[in-house]
Structure 1
Amino acid sequence: MNHLLRQLSLLFAVLGGGVACIVAAMTVTSIVMRAGLSRPIAGDVELTQFGIALAISLCLPWAQLHGANIIVDFFTQALPERANRRLDALGALLLAAMCALLSWRTSVGAIAVREAGETSMILDLPMWWTYASLAPGLALSALVALVQAWRGGRGQALVEN
């Protein structure tokens, strides 16, 4: 696998993990403030939804790179390894297409939402930020899956150890 692709996926995963940790800390703080002071953090639900969506999109490339996504292989267990590699390559190609489509559509959605001036309900944050922040993780996931499909099409293992 390309060293740059691996390093970029790792960087995205670390950022995604950091975002998830920040969301967790904010959630705990909000709960403590709600219980102790009857004043939770305003917009905590909005921030949690945005943060977790961002964390997931940033972690997807790393998960794909390491073959950590769920694979249902009940019906293909008995097939020869070569057939399984080709099916895995096809799956990677389909995932690449789906992630590329989602990245493109979230980018287009970000532009449309920005032009409409849509904001979040409680904090009045611009919603286009949310859409725009999801696109890079999805695009990198598409690239990782495309490289894996190419590797699988050449008879190589999709995931390097």
Structure 2
Amino acid sequence: MFRALRALTLWFALLGSAVAFGVAVLVTWSVVGRAIWLEPIQGDVELTQMGIALAISLGIPWCQLKGANIIVDFFTQRLPAPTIRRLDGIGTLLLAATYALLAWRTSVGAFSVHEAYESTMILGLPMWWSYAALAPGLGLACLIALVQTAMHFAQRPLAALEGGAA
């Protein structure tokens, strides 16, 4: 199961990176077009907003898997290791709840925006696409955080999930 989660998380991160790269090319082309030909790409801001939101959403599971979140351990660094693991378990459980809430609300938002026929101002793209695209990344991050929570409470090393030696 860990191998499948790692592989899926890696594919999400690679796709998110490709989207971010595509947005960078789009913005560069639009700026150059504006400077040289006085002709920017129409809807570049809309595409940038949607693309970067998608890229971030797809990258969050990888960050969660690798434990790349900010940890403030000033008050806990001298506690016994089992206590720290329990606190880390509580932290990952809270993150899982947050990811679940965000995935749920973006899904509900996608349905709501779809029913209202909302679209972007310049290109007229359906807004629900943007909302719906966020949910899979948030859902995968939630799953990763739940697995990490179980591992923390079982006092199992996270290296098995992350891809290192167990």
Whether TM exceeds 0.5 here: the answer is: yes
Equivalent residue, structure 2, for 1:19: 19
Partners of 1:7 and 1:39 in 2: CA distance? 41
Equivalent residue, structure 1, for 2:99: 99
What's the CA shift for 1:48? 0.7
Equivalent residue, structure 1, for 2:115: 115
Equivalent residue, structure 1, for 2:44: 44
1:119–1:125: 8 Å Cα contact kept in structure 2? Answer: yes
What's the CA shift for 1:158? 3.4
Matched ranges for 1:68-79 at <5 A: 68-79=68-79
Partners of 2:36 and 2:125 in 1: CA distance? 27
Segments of 5+ residues of structure 1 without an aligned counterpart are none
Partners of 2:83 and 2:89 in 1: CA distance? 10
Structure 1 outlier segments of 4+, above 6 Å? none
Equivalent residue, structure 1, for 2:33: 33
Which deviates the most, 74-83 or 36-45? 74-83
1:89–1:158: 8 Å Cα contact kept in structure 2? Answer: no
Segments of 5+ residues of structure 2 without an aligned counterpart are none
Partners of 1:102 and 1:74 in 2: CA distance? 29
Equivalent residue, structure 1, for 2:84: 84
Equivalent residues, number: 161
Could you list the per-position Cα deviations for residues 88-143 of structure 1 after superposition, in whole angstroms to 9, with x for gaps in the alignment? 11111111111011101111110000000000111111000000000000000000
Partners of 2:102 and 2:20 in 1: CA distance? 22
| Alignment root-mean-square deviation, CA | 1.0
Please, what TM-score do these two structures have when normalized by structure 1? 0.97
Please, what TM-score do these two structures have when normalized by structure 2? 0.94
> Which amino acid letter does the alignment assign opposite residue 116 of structure 1?
A
Partners of 2:54 and 2:72 in 1: CA distance? 26
SS in 2 for 1:101: helix
SS in 1 for 2:145: helix
Partners of 1:74 and 1:40 in 2: CA distance? 49
